[in-house]
Amino acid sequence: MNDYLEKILRGQPINYEAFLKKLPEAFRRRHRKLFATEKVKTNRWLVTILNETAFTELQDVTQTPVSRVDAAKKGNSHRHGTEVSFLLVYHQGFAHSRPDVVVIGTEFVDMGFHQARSVLVVENERNFYQYSQMLDFASETLGRRLELAECDVVLGGGNRVTRGAILGWLQGYEEVFCAFDYDAGGLQMFSTIAASLGNKATFVQPPDWQPWLAWFRNIPDTTERFTRAISLAEGLGFVPLAEAFRATGKFMEQEMILDE
């Protein structure tokens, strides 16, 4: 968007139709009052600014925000990542059901425990709360015993763990086991983590999906999301999981593990 605005100011022709698609809705509705256009060639228009005040406002809105607060002032706080993130963690010494909290900023980490050698990142809250059962499931699929004494458990839902600062914190572990939903979203989360952590990251899944096929009950929202899941699974080398998607036409949500 900023490239379009700079070209308009310099009097250079732009693809006006593409420009309109990128305009914030409030400006798009009144673009005829803001701009006059003259077509100079195929898909290229010279644009004249009719309302300098509105154009300045548009520049301010589309400028990359410098902070979460600045982004909120521009109308959408989600345009800027949070400067501080909070993680819920079960770890050695926490015998009760209330997890500990880690505060992670861009230049600091505030935590009251030492990271274990390994960490199990659990996507969904219900499964995270049942961390003992999730450790058992991960142990079964991995063929090795994971205990809270040597493996922290982190809640990673809503793509939280794919934030840059949190990925940096996860680098402090030797092994990062990812227990996510078996769908396009879960695979995309793991793909992002693996791209950052490399071989440290392991996707928790049964070596044989055949006994689990009856637990694939979540119907994909769209065909595109279903094909995306298959593509991600195959791209990550999870061919048996891709075959399970094809065999059932469905996804498996993490909560099904608790019913197993």
Domain ranges of the chain: 2-64, 84-259
Is the pLDDT assigned to residue 67 strictly greater than 90?
Answer: no
Q: What is the pTM of this model?
A: 0.69
The one-letter code for the residue type at 143 is G
- As a CATH number, domain 84-259 is 3.40.1360.10
| Greater pLDDT, 82 or 13 | 13
Q: How confident is the model over 238-251, as a mean pLDDT?
A: 97
Burial class (CB in 10 A: 0-12, 13-18, 19+), 198: exposed
H helices of the chain, where?
Answer: 2-10, 16-22, 25-28, 31-34, 52-62, 68-73, 125-129, 131-142, 164-170, 184-197, 223-235, 239-248
User: Can you give the pLDDT at residue 90?
Assistant: 95
CA 166/CA 171 separation, integer angstroms: 9
Q: Percent of the chain having pLDDT more than 90? A: 63
Is the pLDDT assigned to residue 176 strictly greater than 80?
Answer: yes
User: Can you give the pLDDT at residue 71?
Assistant: 43
Residues 6+ apart with CB under 8 A from 25: none
User: Can you give the pLDDT at residue 260?
Assistant: 59
Is the pLDDT assigned to residue 79 strictly greater than 80?
Answer: no
Residues 6+ apart with CB under 8 A from 158: none
Q: How confident is the model over 104-129, as a mean pLDDT?
A: 93
Least Cα distance to 12 among 40, 46, 38, 53 occurs for 46
